[in-house]
Homo-oligomer: A and B are copies of this chain.
C-alpha cells in the first residue's frame, strides 16, 4: 500500500512548530509495511487542500491527514475529505451527545461552533478521541482511503495507536523489519563505496546510508510476509556488511555513541575521570547524560587556564612552555596527572584549539590531542578536525574521545 501524509495548518507554514506528526506517522506506517511516498503540508485553505488530496491520490492508495478537524471556521479538512470522496456531512447524534456530556463534565459551556465537530461523512468509520473533542475517521471510496486525524500530537498519537493501527493492520499484506547501524570514523561516501555491491543490487533487504553530524548511518530494511523472514534477511545482511565495515560500527540499535560508551563503563564497572581543555566540560556533560553513570564517574576537571593545568593535574610548566598547551606532550601529562591524582581506571584528557580565535599556521583551529589511559594501557593521538565552527569542532572532538574510549574498552 502506498501512502501520503498530509498536514493541515497555517501555523506549520510559519515555522513556529516542528511537524512531529509526520515523523510519528511515517515511522508507524513503515513498521506496518505501508510505504510512505510523500509528506505534504498545506495551510487552512480549502482549494489548495482539495487539490493536494487529489494530487496525492494519483499515485497513493492511502492518505492520512492531521489537523483541521476542530470547531473553528478555518477547520476544513472534514468538509474537503467528504467532497473528494463523494460523501456528505450529516449530524451524528451520538457524537453530539458525547460532546455535550464532555462539556458538562468539564464544567465548560459548549459554544455553538463545537456542534460542527458532530457533523461527519455518512460512510465514515469513526475513531473516538480519548484525549480531546474532535473524532477522527476513515473514509473509503473507489479503492482509495483517507484517514483524518486531529492535529494535536497527544490526541493524534493516541488515536493512531488505539484505533487506526488495528484498522490498517486488517488491510496490510506484509511486515517491515529494519536495523539502523551507526558508525564513526568512516564518511558516508566511503561507506557507500564499501557496500556498493549490496546497495546497487537493492531488492530485499535494501541498504541506505545517511550522514549524521560526525557519523554515517546505515539502514538495512527487509519487507517480507512474516517478521521472522524479514529479521533473518536483515541479520544475514548485517553479517556480510560487518566483514567490510564492522570495525566502524558502534551500535546496531540506533544508539548514540555516548550511550554505548556509558553503558559499557557501567557494565564493566570501570571508574572514569576526565580532564578537558578545549571541550570545556562537554565530554563530562555528555557522558553524565547516561542515567546511572554516577556508579562509575568520579570527576571531571575543566582545566582551561595553564595555571589550572599545572595546579589541578601537575602538568609541568616546562612542558607548557616548550610544547605549548595544545600538544601531545601536554595531553599525556594531563591524563597521567589526573590518573595520579584520582586513580580512576579510565582517565582521558583533551587539549586543542576550538576556534574561531587562537589558531596559528603551525597549530590551526581544529588541531586536537587526546590521551586515554585505561588500566596499564595508554593511547594518545593527534586529530586534525576540519574547522566548521567552534560548537561543531568541540562536538566532534568529544565524539573522537568517545570513539577512542569505546575501542579501548573493547580491547580489554
Residue of B nearest to A193 (CB): B111
Residue pairs across A and B with Cβ atoms less than 8 A apart, 12 shown, are A15-B25, A15-B36, A40-B40, A70-B188, A70-B211, A71-B188, A71-B189, A108-B190, A154-B213, A280-B281, A281-B288, A301-B301
Contacts of A279 in B (CB 8 A): 285
Question: What 0/1 pattern do residues 260 to 296 of A give for CB contact below 8 A with B?
Answer: 0000000000000000100111111101110111100
Complex Cα distance A14/B30, Å? Answer: 6
A302 close to B (CB within 8 Å): yes
B22 and A41 contact, CB distance less than 8 A: yes
A392 close to B (CB within 8 Å): yes
- What interface size band does chain A fall in? 35 or more
Distance of A242 from chain B, by nearest CB (Å): 21
Extra pairs beyond A284-B285, A299-B301, A299-B302 (9, CB < 8 Å): A11-B210, A13-B26, A13-B36, A18-B20, A151-B211, A281-B300, A291-B357, A292-B357, A300-B300
Distance of A191 from chain B, by nearest CB (Å): 9
A386 close to B (CB within 8 Å): yes
Complex Cα distance A158/B391, Å? Answer: 13
B308 and A298 contact, CB distance less than 8 A: yes
A91 close to B (CB within 8 Å): no
Complex Cα distance A102/B189, Å? Answer: 14
Residue of B nearest to A304 (CB): B297
Contacts of A38 in B (CB 8 A): 13, 40-42, 48, 52
Residue of B nearest to A18 (CB): B23
Distance of A172 from chain B, by nearest CB (Å): 16
Given that A288-B304, A298-B307, A300-B301 are contacting pairs, would A130 and B27 also be in contact in the complex, using a CB cutoff of 8 Å?
no
A388 close to B (CB within 8 Å): yes
Residue of B nearest to A389 (CB): B131
A406 close to B (CB within 8 Å): no
B15 and A106 contact, CB distance less than 8 A: no
Distance of A224 from chain B, by nearest CB (Å): 17
Contacts of A388 in B (CB 8 A): 130-132, 154
B40 and A72 contact, CB distance less than 8 A: no
B19 and A72 contact, CB distance less than 8 A: no
A328 close to B (CB within 8 Å): no
Residue of B nearest to A112 (CB): B193
A94 close to B (CB within 8 Å): no
A317 close to B (CB within 8 Å): no
Contacts of A294 in B (CB 8 A): 304-305, 358
Distance of A64 from chain B, by nearest CB (Å): 12
The winner among A151, A190, A279, A285 for most chain B CB atoms within 10 A is A285
Given that A281-B288, A291-B356 are contacting pairs, would A28 and B15 also be in contact in the complex, using a CB cutoff of 8 Å?
yes
A392 and B301 contact, CB distance less than 8 A: no
B297 and A287 contact, CB distance less than 8 A: no
B27 and A14 contact, CB distance less than 8 A: yes
Complex Cα distance A152/B300, Å? Answer: 32
Residue of B nearest to A155 (CB): B388
Contacts of A358 in B (CB 8 A): 294
The winner among A187, A293, A304 for most chain B CB atoms within 10 A is A304
B298 and A288 contact, CB distance less than 8 A: no
A336 close to B (CB within 8 Å): no
Distance of A19 from chain B, by nearest CB (Å): 6
A167 close to B (CB within 8 Å): no
Contacts of A211 in B (CB 8 A): 70, 151-152
Contacts of A289 in B (CB 8 A): 280, 390-391, 394
A180 close to B (CB within 8 Å): yes
Contacts of A299 in B (CB 8 A): 301-305, 308, 312
